[in-house]
Structure 1
Amino acid sequence: MKITITQAHITAYLKECRIKKHLNAHTLKAYSIDMKQFLIYLETISYQIDKSSLENYIEGLHEKYPKPKTVKRKIATLVAFFNYLVFNDIIDNNPMNKINTKFKEPKLLPRIVDTTDLKRLFKQLYIDLEESKTNYQLKQAARNTALLELLFSTGIRVSELCNLRINNVNLKEGYVRIYGKGAKERILQIGNQQVMDSLNLYRKLFAEELNTSLYFFINKLGNRLSEQSVRLVINRYEHQLKINQHLTPHMFRHTFATMLLEEDVDIRYIQQILGHSSITTTQIYTHVSSCKQKEILINKNPRNTLQDE
Protein backbone atom coordinates (compact mmCIF):
# COMPACT_ATOMS: atom_id res chain seq x y z
CA MET A 1 0.00 0.00 0.00
CA LYS A 2 1.37 3.38 -1.02
CA ILE A 3 1.25 6.49 1.15
CA THR A 4 1.49 10.09 0.01
CA ILE A 5 4.22 12.31 1.43
CA THR A 6 4.22 16.02 0.64
CA GLN A 7 6.62 18.90 1.07
CA ALA A 8 4.24 20.30 3.70
CA HIS A 9 4.80 17.18 5.84
CA ILE A 10 8.57 17.65 5.66
CA THR A 11 8.35 21.38 6.42
CA ALA A 12 6.14 20.71 9.45
CA TYR A 13 8.50 18.03 10.71
CA LEU A 14 11.57 20.27 10.47
CA LYS A 15 9.65 23.02 12.26
CA GLU A 16 8.84 20.62 15.11
CA CYS A 17 12.51 19.60 15.33
CA ARG A 18 13.49 23.24 15.64
CA ILE A 19 10.82 24.40 18.10
CA LYS A 20 9.81 21.40 20.22
CA LYS A 21 12.78 19.05 20.15
CA HIS A 22 15.33 21.80 20.84
CA LEU A 23 17.89 20.22 18.52
CA ASN A 24 21.14 22.11 18.05
CA ALA A 25 21.94 23.99 14.85
CA HIS A 26 24.31 21.29 13.56
CA THR A 27 21.72 18.51 13.95
CA LEU A 28 18.97 20.65 12.44
CA LYS A 29 21.16 21.38 9.43
CA ALA A 30 21.83 17.64 8.96
CA TYR A 31 18.11 16.82 9.25
CA SER A 32 17.27 19.55 6.75
CA ILE A 33 19.83 18.25 4.24
CA ASP A 34 18.57 14.68 4.66
CA MET A 35 14.92 15.64 4.21
CA LYS A 36 15.58 17.87 1.19
CA GLN A 37 17.43 14.97 -0.40
CA PHE A 38 14.47 12.68 0.31
CA LEU A 39 12.10 15.29 -1.14
CA ILE A 40 14.03 15.29 -4.42
CA TYR A 41 13.57 11.51 -4.56
CA LEU A 42 9.85 11.87 -3.77
CA GLU A 43 9.44 14.14 -6.78
CA THR A 44 10.68 11.35 -9.06
CA ILE A 45 8.05 8.91 -7.75
CA SER A 46 5.12 11.35 -7.58
CA TYR A 47 5.33 11.54 -3.77
CA GLN A 48 4.00 7.97 -3.45
CA ILE A 49 5.93 5.83 -0.96
CA ASP A 50 5.85 2.09 -0.36
CA LYS A 51 8.30 -0.54 0.86
CA SER A 52 9.85 -1.02 -2.57
CA SER A 53 10.47 2.68 -3.21
CA LEU A 54 12.03 3.11 0.24
CA GLU A 55 14.32 0.14 -0.34
CA ASN A 56 15.38 1.67 -3.66
CA TYR A 57 16.09 4.99 -1.95
CA ILE A 58 18.22 3.34 0.75
CA GLU A 59 20.08 1.32 -1.87
CA GLY A 60 20.85 4.59 -3.64
CA LEU A 61 22.23 6.05 -0.41
CA HIS A 62 24.64 3.12 -0.07
CA GLU A 63 25.82 3.65 -3.65
CA LYS A 64 26.28 7.40 -3.24
CA TYR A 65 27.94 7.54 0.18
CA PRO A 66 31.00 5.38 0.94
CA LYS A 67 30.83 6.11 4.67
CA PRO A 68 28.34 3.82 6.47
CA LYS A 69 27.99 6.44 9.21
CA THR A 70 26.49 8.91 6.72
CA VAL A 71 23.97 6.36 5.43
CA LYS A 72 23.11 5.35 8.99
CA ARG A 73 22.33 8.95 9.90
CA LYS A 74 20.16 9.52 6.84
CA ILE A 75 18.19 6.35 7.59
CA ALA A 76 17.76 7.45 11.22
CA THR A 77 16.39 10.78 9.97
CA LEU A 78 13.82 8.94 7.85
CA VAL A 79 12.77 6.70 10.75
CA ALA A 80 12.28 9.76 12.98
CA PHE A 81 10.30 11.53 10.23
CA PHE A 82 7.89 8.63 9.74
CA ASN A 83 7.51 8.27 13.52
CA TYR A 84 6.45 11.92 13.56
CA LEU A 85 3.83 11.21 10.88
CA VAL A 86 2.48 8.25 12.87
CA PHE A 87 2.36 10.24 16.11
CA ASN A 88 0.38 13.00 14.40
CA ASP A 89 -2.06 10.49 12.80
CA ILE A 90 -0.95 11.37 9.28
CA ILE A 91 -0.09 7.74 8.53
CA ASP A 92 -1.03 4.55 10.39
CA ASN A 93 2.32 2.76 10.51
CA ASN A 94 5.98 3.55 10.03
CA PRO A 95 6.92 1.95 6.67
CA MET A 96 10.56 1.78 7.79
CA ASN A 97 9.61 -0.87 10.36
CA LYS A 98 9.26 -3.44 7.56
CA ILE A 99 12.63 -2.67 6.01
CA ASN A 100 15.89 -4.25 7.11
CA THR A 101 18.16 -1.26 7.53
CA LYS A 102 20.82 -2.98 9.61
CA PHE A 103 24.25 -3.27 8.06
CA LYS A 104 27.74 -3.81 9.35
CA GLU A 105 29.55 -0.60 10.07
CA PRO A 106 33.34 -0.86 10.29
CA LYS A 107 34.54 0.09 13.74
CA LEU A 108 37.14 2.79 13.32
CA LEU A 109 39.28 3.68 16.30
CA PRO A 110 39.11 7.34 17.33
CA ARG A 111 41.90 9.44 15.86
CA ILE A 112 43.83 11.24 18.58
CA VAL A 113 46.43 13.99 18.60
CA ASP A 114 49.99 12.88 19.26
CA THR A 115 51.01 14.05 22.74
CA THR A 116 54.22 15.65 21.44
CA ASP A 117 52.28 17.63 18.83
CA LEU A 118 49.72 18.64 21.44
CA LYS A 119 52.47 20.04 23.68
CA ARG A 120 53.99 21.92 20.75
CA LEU A 121 50.62 23.39 19.83
CA PHE A 122 49.87 24.67 23.32
CA LYS A 123 53.41 26.00 23.69
CA GLN A 124 52.96 27.96 20.45
CA LEU A 125 49.65 29.40 21.66
CA TYR A 126 51.41 31.01 24.61
CA ILE A 127 54.36 32.14 22.49
CA ASP A 128 51.91 33.96 20.20
CA LEU A 129 50.30 35.50 23.27
CA GLU A 130 53.65 36.77 24.59
CA GLU A 131 54.88 38.04 21.21
CA SER A 132 51.73 39.97 20.24
CA LYS A 133 52.74 43.41 18.98
CA THR A 134 49.30 45.01 18.58
CA ASN A 135 46.12 44.97 20.62
CA TYR A 136 44.38 43.11 17.78
CA GLN A 137 47.05 40.38 17.77
CA LEU A 138 46.84 40.11 21.56
CA LYS A 139 43.06 39.69 21.50
CA GLN A 140 43.18 37.10 18.73
CA ALA A 141 45.91 35.14 20.51
CA ALA A 142 44.00 35.30 23.81
CA ARG A 143 40.80 34.08 22.18
CA ASN A 144 42.55 31.23 20.35
CA THR A 145 44.32 30.17 23.54
CA ALA A 146 41.15 30.27 25.64
CA LEU A 147 39.00 28.34 23.18
CA LEU A 148 41.57 25.58 22.58
CA GLU A 149 42.33 25.31 26.30
CA LEU A 150 38.62 24.86 27.07
CA LEU A 151 38.05 22.53 24.12
CA PHE A 152 40.80 20.16 25.24
CA SER A 153 40.50 20.41 29.04
CA THR A 154 36.77 19.59 29.08
CA GLY A 155 36.41 17.37 26.00
CA ILE A 156 33.35 19.29 24.84
CA ARG A 157 32.10 19.11 21.26
CA VAL A 158 33.01 22.02 18.98
CA SER A 159 29.30 22.82 18.63
CA GLU A 160 29.01 23.02 22.42
CA LEU A 161 32.04 25.30 22.55
CA CYS A 162 30.60 27.69 19.96
CA ASN A 163 27.11 27.63 21.50
CA LEU A 164 28.44 28.38 24.98
CA ARG A 165 26.61 31.41 26.35
CA ILE A 166 28.10 34.01 28.67
CA ASN A 167 25.63 33.26 31.45
CA ASN A 168 26.72 29.60 31.36
CA VAL A 169 30.36 30.42 32.10
CA ASN A 170 31.08 30.87 35.81
CA LEU A 171 34.73 31.80 36.17
CA LYS A 172 34.31 32.70 39.84
CA GLU A 173 33.29 29.14 40.71
CA GLY A 174 35.31 27.64 37.86
CA TYR A 175 32.75 25.74 35.82
CA VAL A 176 30.79 25.84 32.55
CA ARG A 177 27.23 24.73 31.98
CA ILE A 178 26.92 22.77 28.74
CA TYR A 179 23.77 22.01 26.76
CA GLY A 180 24.62 19.05 24.57
CA LYS A 181 22.72 16.81 22.17
CA GLY A 182 19.00 16.69 22.86
CA ALA A 183 19.32 19.81 25.06
CA LYS A 184 20.83 17.66 27.84
CA GLU A 185 22.54 19.73 30.49
CA ARG A 186 25.80 18.93 32.22
CA ILE A 187 28.13 21.00 34.39
CA LEU A 188 31.87 20.66 33.83
CA GLN A 189 34.49 21.85 36.28
CA ILE A 190 37.47 23.72 34.87
CA GLY A 191 40.11 21.74 36.71
CA ASN A 192 43.30 23.47 35.60
CA GLN A 193 44.56 26.89 36.67
CA GLN A 194 46.22 27.67 33.33
CA VAL A 195 42.90 27.08 31.59
CA MET A 196 41.19 29.38 34.11
CA ASP A 197 43.83 32.06 33.56
CA SER A 198 43.38 31.90 29.78
CA LEU A 199 39.60 32.25 30.11
CA ASN A 200 39.91 35.18 32.53
CA LEU A 201 42.36 36.96 30.21
CA TYR A 202 40.05 36.44 27.24
CA ARG A 203 37.06 37.77 29.17
CA LYS A 204 39.05 40.80 30.34
CA LEU A 205 40.28 41.70 26.84
CA PHE A 206 36.84 41.20 25.26
CA ALA A 207 34.85 42.76 28.12
CA GLU A 208 33.35 45.51 25.96
CA GLU A 209 32.28 43.19 23.12
CA LEU A 210 30.92 40.54 25.50
CA ASN A 211 28.65 43.11 27.17
CA THR A 212 26.44 43.04 24.09
CA SER A 213 26.84 39.37 23.16
CA LEU A 214 24.88 36.27 24.14
CA TYR A 215 27.81 34.00 23.32
CA PHE A 216 31.11 33.61 25.16
CA PHE A 217 33.33 33.05 22.12
CA ILE A 218 32.86 35.69 19.43
CA ASN A 219 34.45 36.73 16.14
CA LYS A 220 35.84 40.15 15.22
CA LEU A 221 32.32 41.36 14.36
CA GLY A 222 31.06 40.42 17.80
CA ASN A 223 28.99 37.52 16.52
CA ARG A 224 28.98 33.89 17.67
CA LEU A 225 32.21 32.16 16.66
CA SER A 226 31.45 29.45 14.09
CA GLU A 227 32.61 25.84 14.17
CA GLN A 228 34.45 26.48 10.91
CA SER A 229 36.40 29.32 12.54
CA VAL A 230 37.59 26.93 15.25
CA ARG A 231 38.67 24.44 12.57
CA LEU A 232 40.60 27.19 10.79
CA VAL A 233 42.41 28.16 14.01
CA ILE A 234 43.47 24.54 14.54
CA ASN A 235 44.49 24.09 10.90
CA ARG A 236 46.58 27.27 11.04
CA TYR A 237 48.66 25.85 13.88
CA GLU A 238 48.79 22.48 12.16
CA HIS A 239 50.47 24.07 9.14
CA GLN A 240 52.59 26.51 11.15
CA LEU A 241 54.06 23.70 13.26
CA LYS A 242 54.24 21.27 10.31
CA ILE A 243 52.25 18.65 12.22
CA ASN A 244 52.13 15.44 10.18
CA GLN A 245 48.45 14.67 10.74
CA HIS A 246 45.30 16.54 9.87
CA LEU A 247 43.85 17.92 13.10
CA THR A 248 40.14 18.41 13.76
CA PRO A 249 38.30 19.78 16.82
CA HIS A 250 36.82 16.34 17.50
CA MET A 251 40.31 14.86 17.79
CA PHE A 252 40.82 17.01 20.90
CA ARG A 253 37.72 15.37 22.40
CA HIS A 254 38.98 11.90 21.44
CA THR A 255 42.40 12.65 22.92
CA PHE A 256 40.89 14.00 26.13
CA ALA A 257 38.76 10.86 26.62
CA THR A 258 41.59 8.48 25.76
CA MET A 259 43.98 10.17 28.20
CA LEU A 260 41.38 10.01 30.99
CA LEU A 261 40.96 6.30 30.35
CA GLU A 262 44.72 5.80 30.45
CA GLU A 263 44.71 7.47 33.86
CA ASP A 264 42.30 4.72 34.99
CA VAL A 265 39.28 7.02 35.23
CA ASP A 266 36.07 4.97 35.44
CA ILE A 267 34.38 4.83 32.04
CA ARG A 268 31.06 5.82 33.62
CA TYR A 269 32.57 9.14 34.71
CA ILE A 270 34.00 9.67 31.23
CA GLN A 271 30.53 9.00 29.80
CA GLN A 272 29.06 11.69 32.05
CA ILE A 273 31.80 14.21 31.25
CA LEU A 274 31.46 13.69 27.48
CA GLY A 275 27.66 13.84 27.63
CA HIS A 276 27.09 10.45 26.02
CA SER A 277 23.55 9.15 26.52
CA SER A 278 24.77 5.56 26.18
CA ILE A 279 27.92 4.04 27.63
CA THR A 280 28.22 2.05 24.38
CA THR A 281 29.35 5.25 22.66
CA THR A 282 32.00 5.84 25.31
CA GLN A 283 33.31 2.28 25.09
CA ILE A 284 34.99 3.06 21.78
CA TYR A 285 37.75 4.65 23.88
CA THR A 286 38.56 1.33 25.53
CA HIS A 287 40.70 0.56 22.49
CA VAL A 288 43.78 1.34 24.67
CA SER A 289 46.50 3.33 22.95
CA SER A 290 49.55 1.59 21.51
CA CYS A 291 51.84 3.14 24.15
CA LYS A 292 49.60 2.05 27.00
CA GLN A 293 49.19 -1.37 25.42
CA LYS A 294 52.97 -1.79 25.25
CA GLU A 295 53.32 -0.75 28.89
CA ILE A 296 50.63 -3.20 30.01
CA LEU A 297 51.97 -6.14 28.04
CA ILE A 298 55.50 -5.60 29.32
CA ASN A 299 54.86 -4.72 32.96
CA LYS A 300 51.57 -6.46 33.68
CA ASN A 301 51.67 -9.49 31.43
CA PRO A 302 50.08 -12.51 33.18
CA ARG A 303 52.99 -14.58 31.88
CA ASN A 304 55.29 -12.66 34.23
CA THR A 305 53.66 -14.34 37.21
CA LEU A 306 54.85 -17.73 35.97
CA GLN A 307 58.53 -16.78 36.01
CA ASP A 308 60.79 -18.75 38.32
CA GLU A 309 61.98 -16.75 41.29
Structure 2
Amino acid sequence: MEIFELKYFLAAANNENIHKGSLDVNVSPASVSKAISRLEAELGVNLFYNEGRNIKLTSQGQALKLRAHSILQLEEDTRYLISGDKEKINIHFGADEILQSFIGVEVTAKMRKLFSKAALHLSIGDDKSNLKKLTDGEIHLALISTDVPKDLKAKTINKVIFKTWAAKNHPIFNGHKKNHVFDIQEVLKHGFVVPSEALLGKITEHGSLDGWREDKFPRIHAYQVQSLKVMENYVRSGRAFAYLPDYYFADEDLVPLQITGCSFNCQQSIKLVCKNPEALGWLSKVWDLF
Protein backbone atom coordinates (compact mmCIF):
# COMPACT_ATOMS: atom_id res chain seq x y z
CA MET A 1 0.00 0.00 0.00
CA GLU A 2 1.65 3.19 -1.23
CA ILE A 3 0.89 6.81 -0.34
CA PHE A 4 0.18 7.72 -3.95
CA GLU A 5 -2.29 4.84 -4.23
CA LEU A 6 -4.25 6.20 -1.28
CA LYS A 7 -4.24 9.68 -2.85
CA TYR A 8 -5.61 8.30 -6.12
CA PHE A 9 -8.18 6.22 -4.25
CA LEU A 10 -9.42 9.27 -2.32
CA ALA A 11 -9.61 11.37 -5.47
CA ALA A 12 -11.87 8.76 -7.10
CA ALA A 13 -13.91 8.32 -3.91
CA ASN A 14 -14.49 12.05 -3.39
CA ASN A 15 -15.63 12.52 -6.99
CA GLU A 16 -17.40 9.16 -7.30
CA ASN A 17 -15.84 9.05 -10.74
CA ILE A 18 -12.41 7.84 -11.89
CA HIS A 19 -12.04 10.37 -14.71
CA LYS A 20 -12.94 13.35 -12.48
CA GLY A 21 -10.71 11.98 -9.74
CA SER A 22 -7.78 11.74 -12.13
CA LEU A 23 -8.12 15.45 -12.88
CA ASP A 24 -7.76 16.25 -9.17
CA VAL A 25 -4.42 14.43 -8.93
CA ASN A 26 -3.18 15.32 -12.44
CA VAL A 27 -2.73 11.78 -13.72
CA SER A 28 -4.48 9.66 -16.32
CA PRO A 29 -7.69 7.76 -15.49
CA ALA A 30 -5.76 4.56 -16.21
CA SER A 31 -3.29 5.40 -13.42
CA VAL A 32 -6.13 5.88 -10.95
CA SER A 33 -7.77 2.61 -12.03
CA LYS A 34 -4.49 0.69 -11.65
CA ALA A 35 -3.92 2.14 -8.17
CA ILE A 36 -7.40 1.09 -7.08
CA SER A 37 -6.92 -2.39 -8.56
CA ARG A 38 -3.63 -2.81 -6.67
CA LEU A 39 -5.29 -1.78 -3.40
CA GLU A 40 -8.18 -4.17 -3.98
CA ALA A 41 -5.78 -7.02 -4.78
CA GLU A 42 -3.67 -6.30 -1.70
CA LEU A 43 -6.67 -6.02 0.63
CA GLY A 44 -8.68 -8.79 -0.99
CA VAL A 45 -11.91 -6.76 -1.18
CA ASN A 46 -13.84 -4.62 -3.63
CA LEU A 47 -13.57 -0.94 -2.72
CA PHE A 48 -16.14 0.34 -5.24
CA TYR A 49 -19.22 -0.80 -7.10
CA ASN A 50 -20.70 0.71 -10.25
CA GLU A 51 -23.84 2.83 -10.19
CA GLY A 52 -24.69 4.15 -13.62
CA ARG A 53 -21.74 6.16 -14.88
CA ASN A 54 -20.41 6.71 -11.38
CA ILE A 55 -18.80 4.55 -8.74
CA LYS A 56 -19.80 4.18 -5.09
CA LEU A 57 -17.80 3.00 -2.11
CA THR A 58 -18.49 -0.40 -0.62
CA SER A 59 -18.51 -0.73 3.18
CA GLN A 60 -14.84 -1.72 2.99
CA GLY A 61 -14.18 1.29 0.77
CA GLN A 62 -15.85 3.57 3.32
CA ALA A 63 -13.61 2.17 6.04
CA LEU A 64 -10.50 2.69 3.93
CA LYS A 65 -11.56 6.24 3.09
CA LEU A 66 -11.64 7.18 6.77
CA ARG A 67 -8.26 5.59 7.43
CA ALA A 68 -6.70 6.97 4.23
CA HIS A 69 -7.49 10.56 5.23
CA SER A 70 -5.75 10.01 8.57
CA ILE A 71 -2.72 8.33 6.97
CA LEU A 72 -2.20 11.08 4.40
CA GLN A 73 -2.64 13.83 6.96
CA LEU A 74 -0.15 12.16 9.30
CA GLU A 75 2.32 11.74 6.44
CA GLU A 76 2.02 15.42 5.54
CA ASP A 77 2.30 16.51 9.17
CA THR A 78 5.44 14.38 9.61
CA ARG A 79 7.05 16.07 6.62
CA TYR A 80 6.19 19.46 8.10
CA LEU A 81 7.53 18.46 11.53
CA ILE A 82 10.87 17.36 10.08
CA SER A 83 11.31 19.88 7.26
CA GLY A 84 9.44 22.88 8.67
CA ASP A 85 8.44 25.61 6.24
CA LYS A 86 10.11 23.80 3.35
CA GLU A 87 7.06 21.56 3.14
CA LYS A 88 3.71 22.85 1.90
CA ILE A 89 0.70 21.83 3.97
CA ASN A 90 -2.84 21.50 2.66
CA ILE A 91 -5.53 23.05 4.85
CA HIS A 92 -9.11 22.02 4.08
CA PHE A 93 -11.60 24.50 5.51
CA GLY A 94 -15.40 24.35 5.22
CA ALA A 95 -18.27 26.80 5.79
CA ASP A 96 -21.52 27.85 4.21
CA GLU A 97 -21.29 30.53 1.54
CA ILE A 98 -22.05 33.59 3.66
CA LEU A 99 -19.70 32.58 6.50
CA GLN A 100 -16.97 31.64 4.04
CA SER A 101 -17.35 35.01 2.30
CA PHE A 102 -17.14 37.16 5.42
CA ILE A 103 -15.87 35.55 8.64
CA GLY A 104 -13.99 32.90 6.67
CA VAL A 105 -11.87 35.58 5.01
CA GLU A 106 -10.60 36.71 8.42
CA VAL A 107 -9.98 33.14 9.60
CA THR A 108 -8.01 32.14 6.51
CA ALA A 109 -5.97 35.36 6.68
CA LYS A 110 -4.70 34.28 10.10
CA MET A 111 -3.91 30.82 8.74
CA ARG A 112 -2.01 32.35 5.84
CA LYS A 113 -0.01 34.57 8.18
CA LEU A 114 1.01 31.52 10.22
CA PHE A 115 1.68 29.24 7.24
CA SER A 116 2.67 31.37 4.25
CA LYS A 117 3.20 28.37 1.95
CA ALA A 118 -0.01 26.57 2.87
CA ALA A 119 -2.52 25.63 0.18
CA LEU A 120 -5.98 26.60 1.43
CA HIS A 121 -8.81 24.47 0.05
CA LEU A 122 -12.15 26.16 0.75
CA SER A 123 -15.25 23.97 0.78
CA ILE A 124 -18.76 25.46 0.48
CA GLY A 125 -21.60 23.56 2.13
CA ASP A 126 -24.24 23.75 4.83
CA ASP A 127 -23.57 22.94 8.48
CA LYS A 128 -24.79 19.35 8.16
CA SER A 129 -22.50 18.49 5.25
CA ASN A 130 -19.49 20.20 6.84
CA LEU A 131 -19.99 18.35 10.13
CA LYS A 132 -20.04 15.07 8.18
CA LYS A 133 -16.88 16.06 6.30
CA LEU A 134 -15.17 16.80 9.61
CA THR A 135 -16.21 13.43 11.02
CA ASP A 136 -15.07 11.64 7.85
CA GLY A 137 -11.72 13.46 7.82
CA GLU A 138 -12.35 15.24 4.51
CA ILE A 139 -11.77 18.71 5.99
CA HIS A 140 -9.68 19.89 8.95
CA LEU A 141 -11.75 22.85 10.16
CA ALA A 142 -15.17 24.37 9.63
CA LEU A 143 -17.23 27.39 10.62
CA ILE A 144 -20.52 26.16 12.07
CA SER A 145 -23.61 27.97 13.37
CA THR A 146 -25.58 24.93 14.51
CA ASP A 147 -25.12 22.62 17.51
CA VAL A 148 -21.89 20.61 17.41
CA PRO A 149 -21.72 16.87 18.26
CA LYS A 150 -19.82 16.02 21.44
CA ASP A 151 -17.17 14.04 19.54
CA LEU A 152 -15.99 17.23 17.81
CA LYS A 153 -14.12 20.16 19.36
CA ALA A 154 -15.62 23.65 19.06
CA LYS A 155 -14.87 27.17 20.18
CA THR A 156 -17.00 30.28 19.64
CA ILE A 157 -15.03 32.86 17.65
CA ASN A 158 -17.75 35.36 16.75
CA LYS A 159 -21.12 36.62 17.97
CA VAL A 160 -23.21 37.95 15.11
CA ILE A 161 -25.99 40.49 15.69
CA PHE A 162 -28.82 40.74 13.17
CA LYS A 163 -30.17 44.12 12.06
CA THR A 164 -32.97 45.45 9.87
CA TRP A 165 -31.34 46.86 6.74
CA ALA A 166 -32.76 49.41 4.32
CA ALA A 167 -31.58 51.39 1.33
CA LYS A 168 -31.49 55.17 1.65
CA ASN A 169 -34.04 55.41 -1.16
CA HIS A 170 -36.62 53.37 0.80
CA PRO A 171 -39.96 55.21 1.31
CA ILE A 172 -39.59 55.02 5.09
CA PHE A 173 -36.92 57.72 4.91
CA ASN A 174 -39.24 60.28 3.33
CA GLY A 175 -39.17 63.12 5.84
CA HIS A 176 -36.53 61.32 7.92
CA LYS A 177 -33.44 61.91 5.83
CA LYS A 178 -31.15 62.38 8.83
CA ASN A 179 -32.88 60.08 11.27
CA HIS A 180 -32.65 56.28 11.25
CA VAL A 181 -34.77 55.76 14.39
CA PHE A 182 -38.24 54.28 13.82
CA ASP A 183 -40.96 52.77 15.96
CA ILE A 184 -41.56 49.06 15.33
CA GLN A 185 -45.15 49.70 14.22
CA GLU A 186 -43.95 52.07 11.51
CA VAL A 187 -41.41 49.49 10.32
CA LEU A 188 -44.07 46.76 10.16
CA LYS A 189 -46.11 48.80 7.67
CA HIS A 190 -43.48 47.99 5.03
CA GLY A 191 -42.58 44.71 3.38
CA PHE A 192 -39.55 42.50 4.01
CA VAL A 193 -37.64 40.22 1.69
CA VAL A 194 -37.17 36.93 3.56
CA PRO A 195 -35.38 33.64 2.85
CA SER A 196 -37.52 30.67 1.84
CA GLU A 197 -34.87 28.25 3.13
CA ALA A 198 -32.15 28.28 5.78
CA LEU A 199 -29.58 30.44 3.97
CA LEU A 200 -27.95 31.69 7.16
CA GLY A 201 -27.46 28.51 9.18
CA LYS A 202 -29.06 27.97 12.57
CA ILE A 203 -30.30 31.23 14.05
CA THR A 204 -33.31 30.81 16.30
CA GLU A 205 -35.72 28.31 17.81
CA HIS A 206 -38.77 30.42 16.96
CA GLY A 207 -39.37 29.11 13.43
CA SER A 208 -38.17 32.14 11.47
CA LEU A 209 -35.47 31.40 8.90
CA ASP A 210 -33.76 34.75 9.42
CA GLY A 211 -34.14 35.07 13.19
CA TRP A 212 -37.00 37.59 13.27
CA ARG A 213 -39.55 37.05 16.06
CA GLU A 214 -42.64 36.53 13.92
CA ASP A 215 -44.55 35.40 17.01
CA LYS A 216 -44.09 38.85 18.57
CA PHE A 217 -43.89 41.17 15.57
CA PRO A 218 -45.42 39.58 12.43
CA ARG A 219 -44.07 41.13 9.23
CA ILE A 220 -45.28 41.57 5.67
CA HIS A 221 -43.41 38.95 3.63
CA ALA A 222 -43.36 40.91 0.39
CA TYR A 223 -40.77 38.66 -1.27
CA GLN A 224 -39.57 35.14 -0.44
CA VAL A 225 -36.32 34.18 -2.13
CA GLN A 226 -33.74 31.38 -2.18
CA SER A 227 -30.64 33.55 -2.58
CA LEU A 228 -28.86 36.05 -0.36
CA LYS A 229 -27.81 37.99 -3.45
CA VAL A 230 -31.44 38.36 -4.50
CA MET A 231 -32.32 39.52 -0.97
CA GLU A 232 -29.58 42.12 -1.22
CA ASN A 233 -30.85 43.34 -4.59
CA TYR A 234 -34.36 43.88 -3.25
CA VAL A 235 -32.97 45.88 -0.33
CA ARG A 236 -30.77 47.99 -2.61
CA SER A 237 -33.73 48.72 -4.87
CA GLY A 238 -35.61 50.27 -1.94
CA ARG A 239 -38.49 47.80 -2.30
CA ALA A 240 -38.02 45.93 0.97
CA PHE A 241 -36.22 45.60 4.28
CA ALA A 242 -34.10 42.56 5.14
CA TYR A 243 -33.08 41.15 8.51
CA LEU A 244 -29.44 40.17 8.05
CA PRO A 245 -26.16 39.90 10.01
CA ASP A 246 -24.37 43.10 10.95
CA TYR A 247 -21.34 42.17 8.81
CA TYR A 248 -23.28 41.59 5.61
CA PHE A 249 -23.45 45.17 4.33
CA ALA A 250 -20.56 47.62 4.44
CA ASP A 251 -21.40 50.56 2.21
CA GLU A 252 -22.98 53.98 2.59
CA ASP A 253 -26.07 53.25 0.48
CA LEU A 254 -27.50 50.80 3.03
CA VAL A 255 -28.20 51.56 6.67
CA PRO A 256 -29.38 49.56 9.69
CA LEU A 257 -32.58 50.88 11.23
CA GLN A 258 -32.68 51.73 14.91
CA ILE A 259 -36.03 50.35 16.03
CA THR A 260 -37.86 51.36 19.21
CA GLY A 261 -40.64 49.39 20.87
CA CYS A 262 -38.95 46.09 20.01
CA SER A 263 -36.97 44.50 22.83
CA PHE A 264 -35.52 41.44 21.09
CA ASN A 265 -32.19 41.27 19.29
CA CYS A 266 -31.25 38.15 17.36
CA GLN A 267 -27.71 36.85 17.88
CA GLN A 268 -25.90 33.96 16.25
CA SER A 269 -22.84 32.17 17.62
CA ILE A 270 -20.23 31.22 15.02
CA LYS A 271 -18.01 28.33 16.08
CA LEU A 272 -14.73 27.05 14.74
CA VAL A 273 -14.95 23.25 14.76
CA CYS A 274 -12.31 20.55 14.45
CA LYS A 275 -12.30 16.79 14.94
CA ASN A 276 -9.10 16.62 16.98
CA PRO A 277 -6.77 19.65 16.92
CA GLU A 278 -4.04 17.71 18.74
CA ALA A 279 -3.85 15.02 16.05
CA LEU A 280 -1.61 17.13 13.80
CA GLY A 281 1.16 19.48 14.88
CA TRP A 282 0.33 22.26 12.44
CA LEU A 283 -3.41 21.92 13.16
CA SER A 284 -2.91 22.52 16.88
CA LYS A 285 -1.07 25.75 16.01
CA VAL A 286 -4.02 26.91 13.91
CA TRP A 287 -6.44 25.98 16.69
CA ASP A 288 -4.46 28.04 19.20
CA LEU A 289 -4.82 31.14 17.01
CA PHE A 290 -8.46 31.52 18.02
Task: Output the TM-score relative to the length of structure 2.
Answer: 0.30
More strand by share: 2
Q: Which structure carries more relative contact order (alpha carbon 8 Å, separation 6+)?
A: 2
More helix by share: 1
